[in-house]
Amino acid sequence: MLKHIPVAAESTHCSTCMMGSVCLPVGMPASEVAKLDDLVKDRIRLQKGQALFQHGEKLDALFGLRTGSIKTQLDEANGAHQITGFFLPGEIVGLDGMIEGEHSSTAIAMEDSEACVVKLQDIDEISRYVPSLQHQVRRLMSREIARSHQVLLALGSMRSEQRLAAFLLNLSQRLTALGYSPSEFIMRMSREELGNYLGLTLETVSRLFSRFAREGIIIVNQRDIKITDMAALNELIGKPC
């Protein structure tokens, strides 16, 4: 059972949340953000491995990740699955599969995590007096489409080393936006999960890490990554530094 935590009156709301600058309100006029306080009525605390929602479940809310990290995946009939995204704090999970009111994917916590629950009906309610909220949801969904197109680009037209380079650069950027170091971080996902996401086997991913390390591009210690030559990564994906 999911652990729900009602958001107490004196607790953090969107308008006072530290994540505001990168989360749902990002880019909204401050005057409007102030009116979002009723948007999040509770939060969910997840333990590592727990599902935030599962394929086929009724969908009536979006989730703003506050702490931790989450992966989303498409489950296949034969038991296999394809990971479609890794989410960091401030990012919105659950934008896919509002078709027929059912989730089309499954979201699983990769470490202990906490997410704000944003009910769809509250979005509708609040957009009546916060006109920009609907635009915001559209913008977030649009960004999610663009994001998955980027992954499509990687899977469709990059070689293995480029996929990993693109992934590391993307992760670095997103972590930077959260205030972390651009060049040193801990990956929450296993080699297998990363391989699944990138359309490679776990062995290939492992070999790539070793090779990048041998070439002096990164320093690898299990999931602890230090990027020592950002330019080389950019060059790999054809972006002249």
Partner DNA sequence: CGAACTATTGAAATAGCTCAACCGCGGTGG
Partner DNA sequence: CCACCGCGGTTGAGCTATTTCAATAGTTCG
Binding residues for a second copy restricted to 169-188, rule: CB under 8 A: none
Torsion sign across C-alpha atoms 153, 204, 187, 93? positive
Query: Does residue 51 touch a second copy according to CB under 8 A?
Result: no
Count residues binding DNA (CB under 7 A): 20
Torsion sign across C-alpha atoms 127, 130, 135, 137? negative
Smallest gap from residue 176 Cβ to a second copy (A): 18
Torsion of CA 141, 144, 145, 150, to 10 degrees: 160
Query: Does residue 65 touch a second copy according to CB under 8 A?
Result: no
Query: Does residue 78 touch a second copy according to CB under 8 A?
Result: yes
Torsional class of 2: left (φ above 0), alpha (ψ -120 to 50), beta (otherwise):
beta
71 membership: H or E segment, kind and range: strand 70-75
Smallest gap from residue 157 Cβ to a second copy (A): 5
Query: Does residue 150 touch a second copy according to CB under 8 A?
Result: yes
Do residues 61 and 120 touch, judged by C-beta distance below 8 A?
yes
3-state secondary structure of 226: strand
Query: Does residue 234 touch DNA according to CB under 7 A?
Result: no
Query: Does residue 121 touch a second copy according to CB under 8 A?
Result: no
- Specify the stretch interacting with a second copy by CB under 8 A; choose among 6-14, 46-54, 111-119, 194-202: 194-202
- Specify the stretch interacting with a second copy by CB under 8 A; choose among 16-24, 76-84, 110-118, 184-192: 76-84
Query: Does residue 137 touch a second copy according to CB under 8 A?
Result: yes
Out of 9, 146, 179, 221, which residue is the one contacting a second copy (CB under 8 A)?
A: 146
Pick from 35, 41, 63: which is nearest to 50 by CA? Answer: 63
Smallest gap from residue 169 Cβ to DNA (A): 17
Centroid of chain to Cα 11: 24
- What mask of x and - would describe binding to a second copy in positions 81 to 100, judged by CB under 8 A? -xxx----------xxxxx-
* Cα end-to-end span (Å), the chain: 48
The encoded tokens of residue 169 equal 């650069």
Do residues 150 and 64 touch, judged by C-beta distance below 8 A?
no
For tokens 């609040």, what's the residue?
Answer: 126
Binding residues for a second copy restricted to 2-41, rule: CB under 8 A: none
Provide the binding-site residues for DNA, judged by CB under 7 A.
159-161, 190-192, 199-207, 209-210, 220, 222-223
Provide the binding-site residues for a second copy, judged by CB under 8 A.
74, 76-78, 80, 82-84, 95-99, 104-105, 124, 127, 131, 134-135, 137-139, 141-146, 148-153, 155-157, 196-199, 238-239
